[in-house]
Structure 1
């Protein structure tokens, strides 16, 4: 490599200079040399001809051009220099003027300094007085009433308007805000304002009470006309419990008179106008409608009165009076402590707090007492008319429906007026009276039925079991008419109970009393009626009566206990029927003596073979004859049915008796069959061949 570079350098030096320059020019990259390009552009502006003369004078031309450019620059800079000199002169003059003015200002300041201090002091005092003036205006605005407002509270001749309530509310607010004044050093202003506001509030409340008293006395029309001003008046008076109570009493007196008048007119004259309802006393012959119309009218009237009273007291709040009164108590205590009467003030404050709490607790009691008072006037006319209507009612079902009606409206009035109201109590007393009359009607009806009942005579006393009687002759064993009448009465009572609004427990207790009052005398009546009947007829008669009662009660609720009691009394009657039918069948089949012998042997001599007994019924011929008659019976079991069983009104009872008799027949045959085929009883094979059917086969035939 050193040898090659050295040889190339030697070759370059051996080349002619012109060639080297040409190579250098050719190797130059003009696009990369920006300065050279710009220089060539500048030269091209004046180098227009490329000849030997131009090339030789190029340097001098360029120097001449430089000189011209420098001269132009010098000429331009000279004008700038002249402008700067003028500016310097102007600034110097201004500086001189400012220094002169500063000197003059210092002289003027030294001369007016005292005047400026006085001016600043006066300005500060003016601002302070202006602030005090504004504070005084605000204080007067906050703690004083305008003359117009004072006139509204004190002038008794001026009417009560919305402005009156605004003025009264403003005085209460000022009285409450006086505690701010009492927190300052000088409390005399606060005490004076409080005393002034108390006097104005007292005048305003007295004026308001007189006005509301007159307004309440005017509420004796057909309906109460409650205005917004009356509502606001009661809201204000709730802070004064005594005045509040007196105002409510006036309202209650007016509405009580109006309610009594409207009730009497509805009873005697009916509604106003041609299309109004007719007088209620026109329906006095129909106690249920008569009493229902009166209670419905009272229900509507009391609801309307309650709504009117609620509208009158809608702005009253249980805790509304606490704020102002408690604040007044606290302020009074502070004032008395300032005057050296702290102990007396504390005791007075405690009493006032107690009065406030008691007034809040009695607010609802006053409303309830007002409702009770305004509805009290209709109690006497209602009681007289309802009692007259109830005394004339003899139908127990009507009395029961009236009792439900009275009890329903009693519950409604309890919710609207309260359980302690006179009207609700009166309706409750009338309901109790109706309840007593209802049970009296039930008891009297049962007593009359017992007094007039005639015992049934046994049929065909000269025939055995009445075998010759027909179906028409057994109709007398059906349930007596008293049962149907009682069931009809119970149906009406229970239907009325289902439509009632009484609580579930009350309905259950009422029904228990009604059923006890009705069913027990009825069962006694049935027993008296059947005293002369034969045992079979007695069982059929009682079964029909008990089953009719069961069927009638089964469709209603709360009757399960009495149905079970009736079933317990029905079972002995069914057992008696089964025993009579079984005895009749066994006697007809000549199997009664055989069965009794087998049972007696099992009880008294079980160790001795049955064949050793010398009983005619155990002979082969007797057993064979009994078996033959029993086979005939199996072919037609109904052939030996007692005709009296057709007197059972219920097919279900007949089927039940037939089933139980079949069970008993199967048991009797099983006992006889087991006794004869048992080897220990030593009967011969000929006895076994006589009884061709085993108990299972008999069961398939009769069960």
Structure 2
């Protein structure tokens, strides 16, 4: 456009426009414009020669520079994107792992609940079993003999002596037998009858063993050897009258032999404090009187020992005591009768015979 056309169009001349732009640029304080300073600093790095060719190529250089910067920026962001893609992949993997863990936890929680329910069920079953065990143990303790009690009742050997514990076990057997009535009243007839039968067998076996032991003891007993266990045994044998009678008969027979032997020794041997009674045969009254005195001395002792043997018996055994004393004293009747008859047949003095009859 020519200057005339420019003037006709009302526009300022070109020189004025350029002048104004330059003035505006010059008026700016570049040292306070940080962006302009940074741009000029950056421009100085690749615009090294101020030539016409360089000024003409400035725009293209800036564009290439900008393109290179953008390419570098793009390359840098590409690496960032790849890193972010990797991170996203890792996040997805973590998310998948979290989901898997959630599913696993849910499954584990369900299994745990099931296990807890099973554990609770097992605990309840265990508590029931423990209760049943305590009930069974208590039942066996009340209605059965322990191994130790069984050994005590039957003995390790046939000839094992009776001890005080034997009677405690025998009492336990009788108590169990009596307690079976409670089972009968509670409706457990089968168990009660079985236990009663078992306790009856135990009791019979125990009394049989007690009978053998007591009989053996009475067979060999001396006057002062009646112990408390034998006395207790006689009291228990009262429950079996036949066995009780056998023991009394055995004791009576044994004591009869002892009394006869003692009487014969007194007649023929004497003692450290007395001469043989036979040495008084020349004096009929004293002879017969000493024999009766000796018998009168030993028979009360025998009765006292016999009463001691049965002192714990709570039934009326008067008749058996009388029969036993008859058996014990019967042994001395024959030697006494022979000697008395001999004196009576050989003595003619009526005064002596009268005095003898009044003994």
TM-score tier by shorter-chain length is 0.5 to 0.7
In structure 2, the partner of 1:167 is: 169
* Correspondences of 1:286-365 after superposition (within 5 Å): 286-318=283-315, 363-365=317-319
CA contact (8 A) 1:224 1:255 kept: no
In structure 2, the partner of 1:189 is: 191
Aligned to 1:378, the other structure's residue is in SS state helix
How far did 1:242 drift?
0.9
How far did 1:283 drift?
0.9
Aligned to 2:358, the other structure's residue is in SS state helix
Match of 2:179 among 177, 184, 191: 177
Aligned to 2:275, the other structure's residue is in SS state coil
How far did 1:129 drift?
6.9
Question: Distance between the aligned counterparts of 1:128 and 1:217, measured in 2?
Answer: 57
CA contact (8 A) 1:168 1:201 kept: yes
Map Cα deviations across residues 399-437 of structure 1 (whole Å, 9 max, x no partner): 3332222xxxxxxxxxxxxxxxxxxxxxxxxxxxxxxxx
Aligned to 2:301, the other structure's residue is in SS state helix
How far did 1:225 drift?
1.7
How far did 1:154 drift?
2.5
Cα gap change, 1:289 to 1:139, in 2 (>3 Å): same
In structure 1, the partner of 2:150 is: 150
Question: Distance between the aligned counterparts of 2:293 and 2:216, measured in 1?
Answer: 32
In structure 2, the partner of 1:205 is: 207
How far did 1:311 drift?
0.9
The structure that has the greater radius of gyration is 2
How far did 1:284 drift?
1.2
CA contact (8 A) 1:270 1:279 kept: yes
In structure 2, the partner of 1:393 is: 347
In structure 2, the partner of 1:375 is: 329
Question: Distance between the aligned counterparts of 2:126 and 2:355, measured in 1?
Answer: 91
How far did 1:133 drift?
4.9
How far did 1:379 drift?
0.4
CA contact (8 A) 1:175 1:194 kept: yes
Map Cα deviations across residues 179-207 of structure 1 (whole Å, 9 max, x no partner): 11111112111111111111111211121
Map Cα deviations across residues 38-79 of structure 1 (whole Å, 9 max, x no partner): xxxxxxxxxxxxxxxxxxxxxxxxxxxxxxxxxxxxxxxxxx
Cα gap change, 1:124 to 1:404, in 2 (>3 Å): farther
1:285 aligns with 2:282: yes
Question: Distance between the aligned counterparts of 2:149 and 2:123, measured in 1?
Answer: 38
How far did 1:160 drift?
1.5
* Correspondences of 1:477-496 after superposition (within 5 Å): none
Flag structure 1 segments of 5+ consecutive residues without an equivalent. 1-118, 319-359, 406-703
In structure 2, the partner of 1:240 is: 240
Question: Distance between the aligned counterparts of 1:396 and 1:134, measured in 2?
Answer: 89
Question: Distance between the aligned counterparts of 2:179 and 2:295, measured in 1?
Answer: 49
How far did 1:232 drift?
1.4
TM-score (norm 1): 0.32
| Aligned-CA RMSD value | 2.7
Which structure has more relative contact order (CA 8 Å, sep 6+)? It is: 2
TM-score (norm 2): 0.61
How far did 1:310 drift?
0.8
Cα gap change, 1:127 to 1:401, in 2 (>3 Å): farther
Map Cα deviations across residues 369-391 of structure 1 (whole Å, 9 max, x no partner): 11111111110100111122223
How far did 1:309 drift?
0.6
* Correspondences of 1:113-124 after superposition (within 5 Å): none
In structure 2, the partner of 1:696 is: none
